[in-house]
Amino acid sequence: MITPACDARGRREASGEPEKTALRVLVIDNYDSFTYNIVDYLARCGAAVTVMRNDAPLDINRISKQGSASPDAFDAVVISPGPGTPTIPSDLGVSAAALEHSEVPVLGVCLGMQAMAYVEGGRVEKAPEPVHGREDTIWVTSTGPLWEKIADSFTVVRYHSLVVTDVPDSMRVTARNAEGLVMALENRTKPWWGVQFHPESIGSEYGEQLIANFVGIAEQRETGRASHGRSVVVRESAVPEGVGPVDIFAALGGQGVLVEFEGKSIIAPHDGGKIIDSLDALSLSMDACPQVHVESNDGAIPAALPGWFGYVGYEANHSDFGPQAQAQAPVLGEALKMFFAERIVVMERGRLQLVALVSHNDRETREAIDWCDAAMAQIQAAPPVGTFDPSAVGRLRVRESRRKYLHSIAEIQELISQGATYEVCLTTQLEAPIDGDFDAPAAYRRLTEIAPAPMRSLLVLGDTHVVSSSPERFLKMSQGVVSSEPIKGTRARCQDEKKDADMRHDLATNKKDRAENLMIVDLVRNDLAHVCEYGSVRVDELCQVKTFSRAHQLVSTVSGKVRESATPVDVIRAAFPGGSMTGAPKYRTMEIIAELEGHPRGVYSGAVGFISVDGNMDLAMTIRTAVVQEQRLSYGVGGAIIALSNADAEWEEIVTKSAPLLSLVAQGFPHEELLEFDGARLQPALHTQPPTVIDSFLLVDGHARGFDSHCRRFRASCLELQTAREDEIDRFLAAVKRELPLHGEWFPRLESLPGGALRVRFRPAPKRREATTLTTVMVQPGQTQHPTIKGPDLSELLRIKNAVPTDDAVLVSPRGVHETTTAALMAWKDNELVSMQAERLSSVTECMVKEIARELGYRVTQKTYDRSALRGAELWVVNALHGISRVSELDGEPVPCDTQRLARFRHMLAGKQQPLIREN
């Protein structure tokens, strides 16, 4: 039972009238995404609850003895969890005032408990590690009414980055975990109780009992729309042989929506009628639509009903979250695109139905029958959809490169450690231009063959095409019950049965994936509690592994009975955007997403599906979805980032989740990021021609060997070939240094083009070689035009390298041995390290190896070697990528190696890596 309250923007938080005199509880919501799970538990215990945001005005008389006689006074207060810290006043808002003035029982949860300790003089600091969505065992260390009917030790779910470290004298600890961290507090003189864990979480034992105990403490201290008679015309037949849903979609004009949800296909043709572009407009359209009596002209029961079809984009509900939750860039196309379809085609179990909505008049009935006849004729003659041509899609690029994505992960994990969020669904998008016509039905057929999934959909409305094969149901509403099936946790399938079973087992038992999923389950429960009858929200399945064609995924199911006053649009607003695509707490996390991603998501991570005229609804999450708008294709991919996330593994998940699109367009993943210097900063490259001068270096977690030496060599080469001015080169190198990634393994390449263009190519570091096989190749004088500069002869060197059966080729001219096509060659003669005396590239890594040799007391010389001098010698190839790689085979013959000496040199070379200090 909840009474209405409004937040600072005037939005009603909840509604409903108390059915009887009950305990009146004020819940102060600190913008947390699990608050309504607490509200739900309170309502189950018979409390009448009012929810207010922490930035709404608080009448302190309603929580003090002075106002206790007032009919609107509260009998108890609950201070919810939330992002932030009690040391920042804006994070607590009126929660602090409630603690200062309240004379009724107060329960503080997570941030609420920390606030209790802080205002009493305690200290709140960072926990040993951020813990979000993870189960833990706590021990109750004190008796009291809050712990009645609760075991001495039990499992709870924790969501916090901060802990109470110094407990004030006015409070006592009533529960701890195995680490000794404070898990519950009680004030010695005031009616305050606090818990650090989340009793409302589905993973917490005794959560509802604890809330009931608090309600008991407080109690003890306080001794439908009208029907206009529309019906449907239904025409039934068998499905014509060889005709599929997408063939029917194309035959009926190729405009509208096709959904194939769990075995039932619905085709809703769009006849050019009005497009609905906002949730408000959708609500008005539904209010104006008369309810339907499900009766047909011939007694057939329709398998589905007409209604509203289309997509709800990620930004469609952002007015409810404020401007900080919105990316600054404009949304491409409409944030919402739906239309009302009076006529649909349904396919299920080999049967075909044409369903048309009519009023009770002969004209509409005749028109509906005529449409059924015409549509059936078109379906009977429907040709098969053609084969998708991947050449229609231009070269793919990824909007957030691996470098930027890993940097964003680091920022998120720092925010998690500060208590600002628990989990952030970070995403990026693959993009490409469309050359010519995009055949959406053909693309849909191919995508659903590549990656079959239970929630497939195709939308074509004007120049907007949405091709989706989603594994995730966002919302389903049927007969007054709403359900959601969030997915969090993914493993790629393996062809090997044992490995595939191992992947499935790992997903089922992995703490990180369970934490991700559990957090979203709690968030979805909270969202549904806004619109469901209290006590009705249930978790039907928790963290179940479901297997699809390309992946195993961790799926949960949450359901609840929708309040009679709530419409489908109310349900969408309460749950949108889906928690599995935002993270939690939703409000603050969406602000973080807007700041880090910087671009609107559009159709991706919204929902696509339908709302029937009888109020039933089915919406898929728009993931694994290709979107074409304004002749550009986009395909969103992302993953949940929590404290336990590994940045490299998260990027690999991005690559894995891109596989359906890559197969569709017959391209590889665009791992590289090419940036061009515009005189001030690096921007996505405009030039695609090959460079004249290049230089590469290895970068590992912000550390590099000889970075300055590589820059000097690049500068000297550019000046020698006059490809760029010195001042321009220096500004470019400074800009590169500012943008170098601080996380991950990279092999960046500096590039100079004819005409003065300067670029940097960020590439993931290839696998390093421990050993190298070589073949000697004779080259003629002049075969390479610029042997001392890296870049001009790149294509010729690559041709030579690709022509030999070994890892690399040794270049030998009549003047002697030079180098390999990719590295310097060094030889050992007893305790003498020999480098090749020849016209060749000056090697940065070779210079370092020489320094090490001198430090260790070896003699270092430079000699002219012919091919025969190499035989029997210990040989090393050295370069920026591989460091020192021993030559294991030369022209098919084994090469000796002093493994101890090699290991020592490699160890010392690794010590040459220096952290790069960014220049502002």
Q: Is residue 448 part of a domain?
A: no
Residue 12: pLDDT band with limits 50, 70, 90: very low
- Going by pLDDT thresholds of 50, 70 and 90, the confidence category of residue 150 is very high
Reported as a single tens digit per residue, the pLDDT across 187-224 is 988 999 999 999 999 999 999 999 999 999 998 877 53
Give the end of a domain, one of 221, 249, 277.
221
pLDDT score, position 287: 78
Residue among 405, 463, 412, 457 at smallest CA distance from 437: 463
The answer to whether residues 374 and 395 belong to one domain is no
Q: Which of 266-280, 289-303, 713-727, 863-877 has the lowest mean pLDDT?
A: 289-303
Is 459 inside any structural domain? no
Closest CA to 484 of 430, 421, 531, 550: 531
- In terms of domains, do 104 and 124 share one? yes
Residue 263 resides in a domain:
yes
In angstroms, how far is the first alpha carbon of the chain from the final one?
56
**Percent of the chain clearing pLDDT 70 (strictly above):** 92
Task: Answer whether residue 441 is part of any domain.
Answer: no
Residue 399 neighbours by CB distance under 10 Å: 17
The CATH number of whichever domain residue 320 belongs to comes to 3.60.120.10
Residue pLDDT, tens place only, 884-919: 999 999 999 999 999 999 999 999 999 999 998 765
- Residue 176 and residue 266 in one domain: no
Q: Is the dihedral of CA 853, 858, 861, 863 positive or negative?
A: negative
* 635 touches 626 (CB < 8 A): yes
Residue 689 within a domain? yes
Q: Which two tokens stand for residue 803?
A: 């022509």
pLDDT at residue 14, rounded to an integer: 39
Write down the residue that tokens 């469901």 correspond to. 532
Express each pLDDT in 745-801 by its tens digit.
899 999 999 888 999 999 889 999 999 999 999 999 888 889 999 999 999 999 999
Predicted local distance difference test score (pLDDT) of residue 16: 39
* 743 and 777 inside one domain: no
The torsion defined by the Cα of 517, 523, 524 and 530, in degrees rounded to 10, comes to 170
Average pLDDT over the chain, rounded to an integer: 90
CA-closest candidate to residue 811, choices 823, 802, 824, 820:
820
Mean pLDDT, range 396-417, rounded to an integer: 92
Question: Which helix or strand (DSSP H or E) is residue 512 part of?
Answer: helix 511-529
Confidence of residue 673 (pLDDT cuts 50, 70, 90): confident
pLDDT given at position 144: 80
Confidence of residue 662 (pLDDT cuts 50, 70, 90): very high
Coil/strand/helix, residue 310:
strand
484, 529 Cβ separation under 8 angstroms: no
- CATH value at residue 708: 3.30.470.10
Residue 464 maps to a domain: no
Please report whether residue 367 resides in a domain: yes
Classify residue 14: in a domain, yes or no: yes
Boundary (domain end) residue, out of 715, 734, 762: 762
| Whether 251 and 351 share a structural domain | yes
The mean per-residue pLDDT over the stretch 85-102 comes to 94
From 161, 190, 221, give the residue that closes a domain: 221
Q: DSSP readout, 141-180?
A: -S--GGGTT--SEEEEEEEEEEEEEE--TTEEEEEEETT-
pLDDT of residue 400: 87
pLDDT at residue 10, as a whole number? 26
Q: Is the pLDDT of residue 361 over 50?
A: yes
Largest Cα separation within the chain, whole Å, is 106
What pLDDT is attached to residue 297? 54
Structural domain range at position 550: 390-434+471-664
> Residue 63 above 60 pLDDT?
yes
Measuring CA to CA, how many Å separate 481 from each of 308, 651, 918? 19, 37, 56
Q: Are residues 261 and 243 in the same domain?
A: yes
φ, ψ dihedrals at 434, nearest 5° = -105, 125
pLDDT, position 332: 66
Task: Provide the CA 223 distance to its chain's centre, in angstroms.
Answer: 50
Q: Do 22 and 169 share a domain, yes or no?
A: yes
Is the predicted pLDDT of residue 295 greater than 70, yes or no? no
Give the pLDDT of residue 21.
Answer: 65
Domain shared by 76 and 199, yes or no:
yes
Query: Does residue 302 have a pLDDT over 80?
Result: yes
**Are residues 276 and 343 located together in one domain of the fold?**
yes
pLDDT at 494 over 70: yes
Of 818, 831, 699, 678, the C-alpha closest to 766 is 699
Kindly list the catalytic residues: 110, 198, 200
Give residue-wise pLDDT tens across range 332-357: 678 899 999 999 999 998 899 999 98
Asked if residues 664 and 438 have their Cβ atoms less than 8 Å apart, the reply is no
> Do 328 and 412 belong to one domain?
no
The total domain count for the chain is: 5
- 505 and 624 assigned to the same domain: yes
Q: What is the pLDDT of residue 492?
A: 84
Residues 93 and 163 occupy one common structural domain:
yes
Query: Is the entire prediction scored with pTM above 0.85?
Result: no
Q: What pLDDT band is residue 298 in, cutting at 50, 70 and 90?
A: low
Rounded Cα–Cα distance for residues 177 and 168 (Å): 19
pLDDT at 19: 43
DSSP 751: E
